[in-house]
Amino acid sequence: MDTQKEALCRIISTLANKNEELQTFLETVDNTLTGLQEESCKVMSELEAELEELSSALEQRGAWLRDVIQEEKQRKEAELQKQLSEGKFALLSSEELLEFANQTLTITDEEEFLKAAKQIKERVTMAPAFRLTTRPVVTETMSQFTVDFSAEKAGLQQLHFLPVPEAPEIDESCCIVRDNAITVVWRPSGEADGDGVRNESYDLEYRKTNRDSSLHAAPEAFWEKIHNIRETQATISGLKFDSGFVVIRVRARNKMAPGEFSEPVIMETKGEHGLQNSSSSVCLQSITYSSVVFAAFNFGFDAVTAHAELKVCGNSVTWEPQGVKGHDPRLRGKENKSSRSATPSPNKTAGNRSGRERFAGESYTVLGDQDMIGGCHYWELRPLPDWKSFSVGVVYRASLGRFDQLGKSAGSWCLHASQWLQSTLAAKHNNRAKALDWPLPQRIGIYCDYDNGDLSFIDVDRLHLLHSFKTKFSQPLVPAFTVWCGGIAITTGLQVPSFMGNFLSTNRSLSSLSQ
């Protein structure tokens, strides 16, 4: 009996302890629930306050941007209205001159006809229609107005309820550097995050550097961006290889927020030849052709040589006439005497331009600022929308006088294009021209193999060989350009593209002008 009572007391004591534990557990759960509700309300209140501040900041920034855009719109409208008025006046003057010319054709008296023809010629020279730059002074874009909410976005990303994608991983073994472009391939961290939110797109950023052992670019370098990439690869095209390496990074983005960037990788660009086998999976191996390593050819315009009526601005040249002063025959006669000499001074090298004067007369020419003394080089030219006539080629710097035009001497080779009165395309050298039966190209590639004496002009958009010169270069070469009415833009820092391989094997069989 006593033993049973003792056992029952132990059971009662155990149940009492368990009951007390259950009561404590219930109180803890109840307090936790209350705290969760209170904390939820607090977080919601803080979120509403943050959103209110963000909305207020957006409204303020929006009002400021509206005012700035309106002011810029009014300024541009005024400039365009002025240009429109000048254009209408020029058109009216041109129509009057055209009517006068038609009337002159009906004159039967020879003396009166010659007098009227002379007046027409003088009026054409100074006609507003030929002195007016037929290009809008402003563009229709307003894209330079941007707003940066990076701080606000960073604050929103710190909220734990916003799922942020993990960083992708760039697959260096599948990346390819070829044809002045870089194809970047990466692996996503996962198809979906913990909350089931899938990566909808990727952002790629890259910047140039000349250091192969550091992922830090030069201080002046900035990240260039490609947004809204739907695949796990992207091609960075139109590169100017004016640096030895490119640093690349990628991040994933879902409908809520972007994630962290991947570990940056560095890719070598210089020395990579465009004739690389397209099936090769090795992207950073140096490729050679005819024992020459093909690197990018970087040069700009030598403004010191530019004709007074040519305006050099960055990588473009435009024809901006200054009047008839530069065409004075007396001035031309005097300067011809000092500009043309049979033999250049032995102390004056081709690269010494300190004493060179500008081109003058009707030689609307400008030279490049880098000489070619060997190797293979490639660059491209694109005529601006209002162009009328231009030439592009190479010259011996010392052999071109101030009034000489490209293609009219033994030391210059060029391609000449014109859409003035009629469309013409011709290859010129040593005062001989060969007409080319091909539509005027919108983008021209120039390939120069100094050592083998090859100079080729390519219609890049149609991948057609326009003309190929075969010669033996004996002096340093320099790129040369002539512009009349309109303008051109060049792209340098390009490697020899792979499509040149299709032309190099057959260019010896094409007809060319003999030296």
261-278 pLDDT, tens digit each: 999 998 887 643 333 333
Whole-angstrom distance, CA of residue 191 vs CA of residue 269? 32
- The SS3 call for residue 301 is strand
Beta-carbon contacts of 250 under 8 Å, excluding residues fewer than 6 positions away, are 167, 168, 170, 184, 186, 202, 203, 204, 205, 261, 262
Among 23-27, 46-50, 345-349, 397-401, where is mean pLDDT lowest?
Answer: 345-349
Mean pLDDT is lowest, of 29-38, 45-54, 210-219, for 210-219
- d(CA 396, CA 184) in angstroms, rounded, equals 41
How far is Cα 403 from Cα 335, in angstroms, rounded to an integer? 9
Predicted local distance difference test score (pLDDT) of residue 92: 84
Q: Bigger pLDDT: 153 or 314?
A: 314
Give the integer Cα–Cα distance in Å for 277 and 255. Answer: 39
Distance CA 250, CA 264 (A): 8
Ordered by start, the domain boundaries in the chain are 2-131, 164-287, 301-339+355-509
| Whole-number pLDDT of residue 32 | 79
Give the highest mean pLDDT range of 107-111, 151-155, 184-188, 208-212: 184-188
- Contact status, residue 180 vs residue 239, Cβ threshold 8 Å: yes
Q: Which of 156-160, 270-274, 291-295, 449-453 has the highest mean pLDDT?
A: 449-453
Q: Is the pLDDT of residue 408 over 50?
A: yes
Does residue 143 have a pLDDT over 60?
no
pLDDT of residue 365: 96
Q: 409 CB contacts (<8 Å, ≥6 apart)? A: 395, 399, 400, 430, 431
pLDDT (mean) for 373-384: 93
Looking at the chain, the whole-number percentage of residues with pLDDT higher than 70 is: 76
* Residue of 363, 375, 344 whose CA lies nearest to 273: 375
Burial 124-153 (b: 16+ CB within 10 A, else e): eeebebeebbeeeeeeeeeeeeeeeeeeee
Average pLDDT of the chain is: 78
Outline where 221-339 has alpha helix (H).
Answer: 329-339
Residues linked to residue 226 through DSSP beta bridges, in sequence order = 204
Asked if residue 396 lies in contact with residue 476, where contact means CB atoms within 8 angstroms, the answer is yes
CA distance 232 to 251: 11
Query: For the whole model, what pTM was predicted?
Result: 0.52
- Is the pLDDT score of 432 beyond 90? yes
Q: Which two structure tokens, joined as six digits, stand for 182?
A: 């870089």
- Residue among 341, 371, 471 at smallest CA distance from 413: 471
Q: How far apart are CA 55 and CA 76, in angstroms?
A: 31
Alpha-carbon dihedral sign for residues 402, 403, 405, 410: negative
pLDDT of residue 238: 74
**CATH number of 301-339+355-509: 2.60.120.920, 3.40.50.2300, 3.40.50.1370, 1.10.10.60?**
2.60.120.920
Q: Is residue 202 a contact partner of residue 167, using CB atoms and an 8 Å limit?
A: no
pLDDT at 280 over 50: no
d(CA 84, CA 390): 26
Determine the average pLDDT of the residues in 370-375: 92
- Average pLDDT on 397-409 reads 90
Amino acid in the structure at residue 262? S
Tell me how many degrees the CA angle 371-374-379 measures, rounded to the nearest 5.
60
> What is residue 198's predicted lDDT score, i.e. its pLDDT?
60
Of 192-201, 254-263, 425-434, least confident by mean pLDDT is 192-201
Yes or no: say if 340 and 401 are a contact pair by the CB < 8 Å rule: yes
Q: Give one DSSP letter per residue of 407-432, joined into a string.
A: TSSTTEEEEEEE-SSS-EEEEEETTE
Contacts for 481 with CB less than 8 Å, ≥ 6 apart: 301, 317, 365, 366, 367, 368, 381, 390, 391, 392, 488, 490
| Mean pLDDT for the stretch of residues 55-66 | 84
Q: How far apart are CA 304 and CA 388, in angstroms?
A: 24
- Give pLDDT, residue 141: 66
The predicted model gives 68-95 an average pLDDT of 84
Among the CATH numbers 1.10.10.10, 3.30.590.10, 3.40.720.10, 2.60.40.10, which is that of 164-287?
Answer: 2.60.40.10
Question: Among the listed ranges 137-141, 191-195, 262-266, 466-470, which one has the minimum average pLDDT value?
Answer: 191-195
Q: Residue 501: is it exposed, middle or buried by C-beta count within 10 angstroms (0-12/13-18/19+)?
A: middle
Question: Could you tell me the pLDDT band of residue 49, with boundaries at 50, 70 and 90?
Answer: confident
What is the mean pLDDT of the segment spanning 427-433? 95
pLDDT band at 156 (very low <50, low <70, confident <90, very high): low
Q: How confident is the model at residue 479 (pLDDT cuts 50, 70, 90)?
A: very high
- Following DSSP, what letter does each residue of 180-206 receive, concatenated? TEEEEEEE-S-SB-TTSPBP-EEEEEE
Q: pLDDT-based confidence at 509, cuts 50/70/90?
A: very low
